[in-house]
């Protein structure tokens, strides 16, 4: 059985998705340093974002056929993260910067929905 590789076009919206996701990943990992201890919650959140980003852009037929589903899961994951922070998160500057990146990510994912 032959596996066909599917290319992924990267335009401005897709670049924005990549950048805002990586900002969020780095902030969640940095929070481990800021807290001075390993936080499983922040680390798993960062890894979740990273896994969804890879799945969204990996040029493989398995992921390409499920791109729309992956995008909706990523929107839900991001909204869940924002709402969770609203109820139990720290009100520090870096958290607000992260929320701006996450809101931008949701908007960009929404705009990208026509890509399939």
Average pLDDT over residues 48-76: 97
- pLDDT classification of 6: cutoffs 50, 70, 90: low
pLDDT tens-digit series, residues 7-52: 678 999 999 999 999 999 999 999 988 888 999 999 999 999 999 9
Task: Specify the higher pLDDT residue, 57 or 3.
Answer: 57
pLDDT top residue among 114 and 59 = 59
Confidence of residue 96 (pLDDT cuts 50, 70, 90): very high
pTM of the full structure = 0.90
pLDDT of 100 above 80: yes
Domain ranges of the chain: 12-115
Residue in 100, 99, 102, 98 with CA at minimum distance from that of residue 27: 98
Task: State the average pLDDT over residues 75-82.
Answer: 99
> What is residue 115's predicted lDDT score, i.e. its pLDDT?
73
- Indicate the range of 35-39, 75-79, 93-97 predicted with least confidence: 35-39
Q: What residues have CB less than 8 Å from 50, skipping those under 6 apart?
A: 21, 25
Terminus-to-terminus CA distance in the chain, angstroms?
25
Residue 70: is it exposed, middle or buried by C-beta count within 10 angstroms (0-12/13-18/19+)?
A: buried
């Amino acid at each position: 059985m032959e596996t066909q590789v599917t290319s992924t076009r990267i335009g401005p919206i897709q670049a924005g998705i990549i950048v805002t996701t990586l900002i969020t990943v780095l902030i969640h990992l940095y929070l481990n340093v800021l807290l001075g201890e390993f936080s499983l919650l922040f680390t798993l959140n960062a890894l979740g974002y990273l896994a969804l980003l890879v799945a969204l852009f990996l040029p493989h037929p398995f992921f390409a056929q499920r791109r729309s589903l992956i995008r909706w899961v990523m929107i839900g994951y991001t909204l869940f993260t924002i709402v969770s922070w609203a109820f139990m998160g720290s009100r520090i500057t870096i958290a607000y910067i992260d929320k701006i990146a996450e809101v931008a990510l949701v908007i960009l994912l929404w705009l990208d929905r026509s890509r399939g």
